[in-house]
Amino acid sequence: MIERSPWQLLEFLYLLARMELKARYKGRFLGYLGAVGLIFALAFVFWIAFKVIMGLDLPNYSVYLVAGLFPWAWMSMGVVSASRSFVANAGLIKEMGIAHAILPLSNVVQEMMHFALALPLIVAWVAIPGDYPPTWSWLWQIPLLMALQLVFVYPLALAAALANAYVRDIEYWLGIGFVLLFFATPMVYPVSMVPEGLARYFELNPFHALMECWRTVFIESRFDATHAAYAAAFAAVEGVVVWFLYRRFAPRVGEVV
């Protein structure tokens, strides 16, 4: 096992992130527009399907969609790619004894980068029509939420990577899990549409809390402290649980990948 200092690990993280940036955008503007454009296209499809065809009645629906889809994409793609990170880098883990924890972190950070790069376009989308002008408060609210989301998502990513190393099905389960969550969070309709009995359960969903925070920032320029606190508390619990799981299962990852 090579001795690694935290600085060395951070440098490694930086290198991985740079590689991903290069690969995804190939240093050109159009690649960036393409990646961001796809998520806007997805929002457009949902808008057609839900507003035009199914008659969903929500005045700020396009903003509602966009404000949620980008953080969601960061989270779901981060966790799903992280789940493959140990298996995909089996050689790395086996031969270099690399600190396992950094690989899923690199996936989450990479997606966060893509999110950060998309922010200017998101802000433009929300602000330009005029109903939801940007305010100075976004300057602290957005970074704060990003930090919250990072702390929220990383333990999930690490747990996914550990689980998938032992039980290869996990990445397929994750796919379903996120679709389930997508409708349970909910991402394409407001929670007000949920019938009385079920609504309480939706409020219990920590992912809902996190996504609501994003929406209130963009739509109301307000920091939703209650939901944020709930999400942070959940992140703390996740952190503890995953720390124990990591100590128990990480050492044997090299044998099972």
Partner 1 sequence: MTAALECRDLWKSYSSKRVGLKTLLLRPEVARTSRYARRWALQGVSFKVSRGQGFGVLGANGMGKTTLLSVLLGIVQPDRGSVSVQGRVASLLELGAGFHPELSGRDNVFLYGSILGMRLHEVEERYHAIVEFSELGDAVEEPLRTYSNGMVTRLGFSLIAHAPADVFLIDEVLAVGDARFQEKCRRHLQEFRKRNGTLVIVSHDMEALAEVCDEGIRLEMGEVTDAGPIGDVVRRYQSA
Partner 2 sequence: MSAHSLELLYLLVRKDLKVRYKSSVLGYLWALANPFAFALVYWVAFKYIMRVQMENYSLYLITGIFPWVWLSSGITQATRSYQNNASLVKKVRIPRAILPLSSVAQEMAHFLFALPVIVGFLMFAGGFELRASWLWQLPLLLAVQLAFVYPIALVFAVGNVYVHDIEHLVGLAFAMLFFLTPMVYPISMVPEGLRRWFELNPLHALMDSWRGVFLSGTLDGGKLGYAVACAAVFGAVAWLCYRRFAPRIGEVL
Residue ranges binding partner 2 (CB under 8 A): 23, 31, 34-35, 38-39, 41-42, 45-46, 48-50, 52-54, 56, 166-169, 172, 175-176, 179-180, 183, 186, 189, 193-195, 198
Q: Which does 45 bind (CB under 5 to 8 A by kind): partner 1, partner 2, none?
A: partner 2
Among partner 1, partner 2, none, the one that 52 touches (CB under a kind-dependent 5 to 8 A) is: partner 2
- Least distance to partner 1 from the beta carbon of 19, Å? 14
What lies within 8 Å, CB to CB, of 31 at 6+ separation is: 24, 25
Half-sphere exposure of 123 (CA within 13 A, CB side): 15
38 binds, among partner 1, partner 2, none (CB under 5 to 8 A by kind): partner 2
Q: Is 28 an interacting residue with respect to partner 1 (CB under 8 A)? A: yes
Enumerate residues 33-92 that contact partner 1 by CB under 8 A.
34
Least Cβ distance, residue 32 to partner 1 (angstroms) = 10
Binding flag, residue 26, partner 1 (CB under 8 A): yes
Q: Which of 15, 30, 96, 237 binds partner 1 (CB under 8 A)?
A: 30
The DSSP code for 151 is: H
Residue 200 contact partner, candidates partner 1, partner 2, none, CB within 5 to 8 A by sort of partner: none
Site for partner 1 in 157-186 (CB under 8 A): none
Kindly provide the b/e burial profile for residues 130-154, where b requires at least 16 CB atoms within 10 angstroms of the residue's own CB: eebeeeeebeebbeebbebbbebbb
What separation, in Å, do the N-terminal and C-terminal C-alpha atoms of the chain show? 17
**Binding status of residue 239 toward partner 1 by CB under 8 A:** no
Stretch that binds partner 1, among 28-36, 44-52, 73-81, 137-145 (CB under 8 A): 28-36
Q: Determine contact, residues 105/157, Cβ cutoff 8 Å.
A: yes
List % helix, strand, coil for the chain (3-state, nearest 5): 80, 0, 20
Of 90, 66, 70, 68, nearest to 78 by C-alpha is 70
Distance CA 132, CA 134 (A): 6
The residue from 21, 31, 51, 239 that contacts partner 1 (CB under 8 A) is 31
Select from 234, 68, 249 the least CA-distant residue to 151: 234
Nearest approach in angstroms of CB 193 to partner 2 is: 6
207 contacts 215 by C-beta, under 8 angstroms: no
Peptide bond into 186 cis (omega under 30): yes
Specify the stretch interacting with partner 1 by CB under 8 A; choose among 22-30, 107-115, 159-167, 227-235.
Answer: 22-30
Give which of partner 2, partner 1, none residue 30 binds (C-beta under 5 to 8 Å, depending on kind).
Answer: partner 1
Give the binding site for partner 1 (CB under 8 A): 26, 28, 30-31, 34
